[in-house]
Amino acid sequence: MKKMMKILIFVCCLIVFSCGYASADYDIVLTGVIKYEIPVSYSNKSILVADDGFVVYDSRVLLDNCIMDVDGLAEFNSDITLIDSVINVKGDLKIQQPGTTITETGASSIIAIGDSIKTGRISLEGNLKYPIIVDSDYAANDAAFIIIGENSSSESTLKCIDFHSGWCNIWV
């Protein structure tokens, strides 16, 4: 019986820690390929898109007082609202749907924080007719919204972005 318990405990630990993340570190861990076709709303959550995660949001996304760590790939194909929320990008973040609106309120940021192992690449690409629109209260919170850190990928792309309600708030 004791031997069986030890095996069961070992198997449980193997399952929980095999991906390299303890489940207690994040409220939500997204792995594998996930596609959301309905609006998604997170409030007061810490979210991880794991190394093997490929998450596609085809409908509106609301992050309210959240931290999202993107180690894999997150693709947003619809409007995004960030309220006092931060998206830390070690993997890849794509917003390439022309006309997408990012509404940013409070102390919110999208930060490419790559390192020697991860790329930390952000691709925000609209077009001249339908740019990516960032509606920001930048003047109120006096902080950069899009930040590309020095260790991040030089392949980050910011193309055809139209900022409203504040100064151009990009820090490279």
Choose between 133 and 41: higher pLDDT. Answer: 41
Does the pLDDT of residue 14 top 70, yes or no?
Answer: no
Whole-number pLDDT of residue 140 = 54
Average pLDDT over residues 16-44: 79
Choose between 78 and 164: higher pLDDT. Answer: 78
* Residue ranges per structural domain of the chain: 24-171
**Type and span of the H or E element at 56:** strand 54-57
Mean pLDDT over the full length of the chain:
80
Does the pLDDT of residue 164 top 90, yes or no?
Answer: no
Greatest extent of the chain over all pairs of C-alpha atoms, in Å: 69
Whole-number pLDDT of residue 54 = 97
How many whole angstroms separate alpha carbon 95 and alpha carbon 89? 13
Q: For residue 90, which of 145, 51, 32 has the smallest C-alpha distance?
A: 51
Q: What is the pLDDT of residues 79-136, one digit of tens each?
A: 999 999 999 999 999 998 989 999 988 888 898 887 767 778 888 898 889 998 888 8
Our measurement of the distance from residue 122's CA atom to the centroid of its chain's CA atoms, rounded to an integer in Å, reads 10
Q: What is the pLDDT of residues 43-70, one digit of tens each?
A: 999 999 999 999 999 999 999 999 999 9
